[in-house]
């Protein structure tokens, strides 16, 4: 169960991170559905600690210098992300299909990198950098959930697994069997569970024995020949080997 005060702080930061011009207290309250009376002391504390700043003329709050400093510490990992993105570009140039990277954000996949082939897109993906999608119905998400046991996953989804398409897995026991296979093969598969006419493969990326992210290849089903599917898996496993080796250092 999420810790409500912490969740509200994170929701405020997530909201303002995509609102560079800032928002008023009323606008923040409406956007995250929290009463102003509850929100005000949280925002004042964040303001005092410089996680937020206030433009007095407009009474709009925006990201503060302390948040920026934390972000800067994260950017030290940029070299690793650049390395992964280079590998993703190579994958796309080889297979001519979309490659994405995601991390687990609560019960969702958060997409953080994406490389598209240089061609017309036949099927519009619903995912994009910054998008969150329930993890259980995506190849990326299954790869990220693969080290969880089924009881932990049931805790993540107390209301059950909701269908997005007619092919979405909604049975925990079926999902459990898929996760067992992923632990054995290191490859997750999803066929039209989020988007019709789209097949995806993904592999988990590990650091110090823990899954930290995953990368995937998405292929329209009409191009998903046996040869292309095999190539996708080979490319992903090779990428996993390269990235995991760097993560060990």
Residue 248 confidence (pLDDT): 64
The confidence score (pLDDT) of residue 101 equals: 94
Is residue 215 within 8 Å of residue 201, measured between CB atoms? no
Q: What are the structure tokens assigned to 226, written together?
A: 């046996």
CATH class of the structural domain 4-71? mainly alpha
pLDDT tens for the chain, 249 residues: list them: 568 888 899 999 989 988 888 999 999 999 999 999 999 999 999 998 888 989 888 999 998 877 776 776 566 566 788 899 999 999 999 999 999 999 998 899 989 899 999 865 566 677 778 888 999 999 999 999 999 999 999 999 999 999 999 999 999 999 999 999 999 999 999 999 999 999 999 999 998 888 999 999 999 999 999 999 999 999 999 999 999 988 765
Q: What is the pLDDT of residue 206?
A: 92
Helices (H), 96-199: 139-145, 150-156, 172-185
SS3 at position 210: strand
Please give the Cα distance from 223 to 221 (Å, whole number).
5
CATH topology of domain 77-248: Beta-Lactamase (3.30.450)
pLDDT at 74: 60
**How many Cα atoms are found within 13 Å in the side-chain-facing hemisphere of 90?**
12
Going through the chain in order, the beta strands assigned E by DSSP cover: 52-55, 60-63, 98-105, 108-115, 132-134, 188-191, 198-207, 210-220
Q: Where are the domains of the chain?
A: 4-71, 77-248
């Amino acid at each position: 169960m999420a810790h409500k005060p912490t969740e509200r702080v994170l929701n405020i930061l997530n909201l303002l991170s995509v609102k560079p011009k800032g928002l008023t207290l009323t606008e923040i309250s409406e956007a995250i559905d929290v009463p102003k009376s509850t929100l005000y002391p949280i925002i004042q504390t964040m303001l005092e600690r410089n996680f937020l700043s206030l433009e007095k003329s407009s009474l709009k709050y925006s990201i503060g210098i302390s948040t920026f400093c934390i972000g800067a510490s994260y950017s030290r990992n940029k070299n690793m992300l650049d390395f992964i993105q280079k590998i993703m570009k190579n994958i796309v140039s080889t297979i001519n299909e979309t490659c994405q990277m995601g991390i687990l954000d609560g019960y969702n996949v958060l997409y953080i990198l994406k490389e598209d082939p240089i061609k017309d897109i036949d099927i519009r993906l619903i995912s994009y950098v910054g998008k969150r999608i329930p993890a259980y119905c995506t190849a990326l998400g299954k790869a990220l959930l693969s080290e969880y046991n089924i009881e932990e996953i049931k805790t993540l989804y107390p209301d059950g697994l909701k269908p997005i398409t007619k092919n979405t897995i909604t049975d925990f026991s079926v999902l459990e069997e898929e996760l067992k296979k992923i632990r054995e093969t290191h490859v997750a598969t999803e066929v039209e569970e989020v988007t019709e006419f789209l097949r995806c493969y993904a592999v988990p990326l590990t650091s110090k024995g823990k899954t930290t992210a995953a990368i995937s290849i998405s292929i329209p089903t009409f191009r998903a020949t046996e040869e292309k599917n095999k190539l996708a898996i080979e490319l992903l496993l090779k990428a996993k080997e390269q990235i995991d080796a760097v993560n060990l250092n």
